[in-house]
């Protein structure tokens, strides 16, 4: 029997294809931001060196791990929903050598490179990376003690990211923890040209839309999560955001002018998006950074 392809299925397939192409073309450029391929913003704590970007990126990994509340005993199972090249999992592997760590991505290039990085790093034999869609993983229910999404929830469907949340709830064991760190639309509204800038920002990063923090919290409650905590992390994230213009300028001078790789539209979009972000982010716009944690009842 011939398979019926609906408009929604076709749109989803095309979106996934654009997403994969973006990261295959622009993914290597993240090395300019982080030699360890921490593909997210960092977190600054008092006493840290605000000029040490990699240390702040690693600290963000630790902030996520801390809120997962994983016991140091036993062999907990942890899933990274949108693992990129596995940098956060490598941080957790050093902290929890007995944990069983899984990461999923939609991008074959990320899977291949992530496995190579794991092979060259110490203490990563308990990390497993795979190709899967975090909105429908196909993994057994109640299979994990902790699940997190570090700057990957933005790629989920809709402003409430309900599919991601419900899949995380299904995968978690009772009492298991979910942690999400990402940019969200917060209270306030877009002013003047900001909505057009926001749409361009989403286009550059191949995002349907960023999550709305109020809708996201409501979806957590509807899915059956409890102990929901929403932390605004703007102050801690800002020191790493200040690195963006300097990294961008260095990238333009070294990789664009003299680099061997051809500049594609995806690579240009990856340069443009961080430039647009401050125009719609806190304090001039409604976008802000949050760390959300919750427990499966």
Q: Where along the chain do its domains lie?
A: 16-296
Q: Which residue has the higher pLDDT, 7 or 74?
A: 74
pLDDT band per the 50, 70, 90 thresholds, residue 72: confident
What are 266's two structure tokens?
């995806």
How confident is the model over 107-130, as pLDDT tens digits?
Answer: 999 999 999 999 999 999 999 999
How is domain 16-296 classified at the architecture level of CATH?
Answer: 3-Layer(aba) Sandwich (3.40)
How confident is the model over 20-49, as pLDDT tens digits?
Answer: 999 999 999 999 999 999 999 999 999 999
* Residue 44: CB atoms within 10 Å: 20
Whole-model pTM?
A: 0.93
- Classify strands 77-81 and 144-150 as parallel, antiparallel or unpaired: parallel
What are 152's two structure tokens?
């990957």
Using alpha carbons, list the distances in angstroms from residue 218 to 6, 100, 153, 170, 213.
29, 30, 15, 17, 9
Q: What is the pLDDT of residue 259?
A: 83
Residues 141-166 have a mean pLDDT of 97
Burial class (CB in 10 A: 0-12, 13-18, 19+), 232: middle
pLDDT band per the 50, 70, 90 thresholds, residue 93: very high
Residues 197-219 have a mean pLDDT of 96
Q: What is the pLDDT of residue 108?
A: 96
How confident is the model over 237-284, as pLDDT tens digits?
Answer: 999 999 999 999 999 988 887 888 889 999 999 999 999 999 999 999
Q: Which residue has the higher pLDDT, 200 or 257?
A: 200
């Amino acid at each position: 029997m011939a398979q019926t392809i609906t408009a929604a299925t076709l749109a989803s397939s095309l979106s996934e294809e654009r997403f994969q192409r973006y990261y295959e073309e622009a993914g290597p450029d993240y090395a300019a931001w982080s030699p360890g391929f921490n593909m997210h913003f960092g977190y600054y704590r008092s006493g840290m060196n605000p000029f040490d970007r990699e240390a702040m990126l690693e600290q963000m990994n630790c902030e996520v791990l801390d809120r997962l509340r994983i016991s140091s005993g036993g062999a907990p199972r942890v899933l990274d929903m949108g693992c990129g090249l596995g940098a956060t999992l490598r941080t957790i592997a050093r902290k929890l050598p007995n944990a069983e760590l899984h990461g999923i991505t939609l991008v074959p290039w990320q899977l291949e490179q992530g496995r190579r990085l794991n092979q060259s790093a110490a203490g990563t034999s308990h990390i497993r990376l795979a190709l899967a869609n975090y909105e429908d993983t196909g993994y057994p229910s109640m299979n994990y003690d902790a699940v997190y999404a570090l700057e990957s929830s933005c790629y989920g469907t809709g402003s409430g990211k309900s599919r991601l949340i419900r899949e995380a709830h299904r995968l978690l064991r009772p009492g298991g923890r979910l942690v999400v760190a990402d940019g969200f639309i917060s209270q306030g509204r877009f002013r003047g040209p900001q909505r057009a800038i926001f749409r361009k920002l989403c286009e550059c990063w191949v995002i349907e839309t960023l999550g709305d923090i109020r809708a996201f919290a409501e979806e957590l409650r509807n899915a059956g999560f409890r102990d929901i905590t929403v932390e605004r992390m703007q102050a801690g994230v800002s020191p790493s955001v200040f690195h963006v213009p300097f990294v961008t300028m260095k990238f333009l001078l070294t990789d664009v002018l003299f680099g061997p790789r051809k500049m594609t539209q995806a690579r240009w979009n990856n340069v443009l998006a961080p430039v647009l972000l401050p125009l719609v982010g806190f304090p001039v716009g409604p976008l802000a950074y949050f760390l959300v944690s919750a427990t499966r009842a």
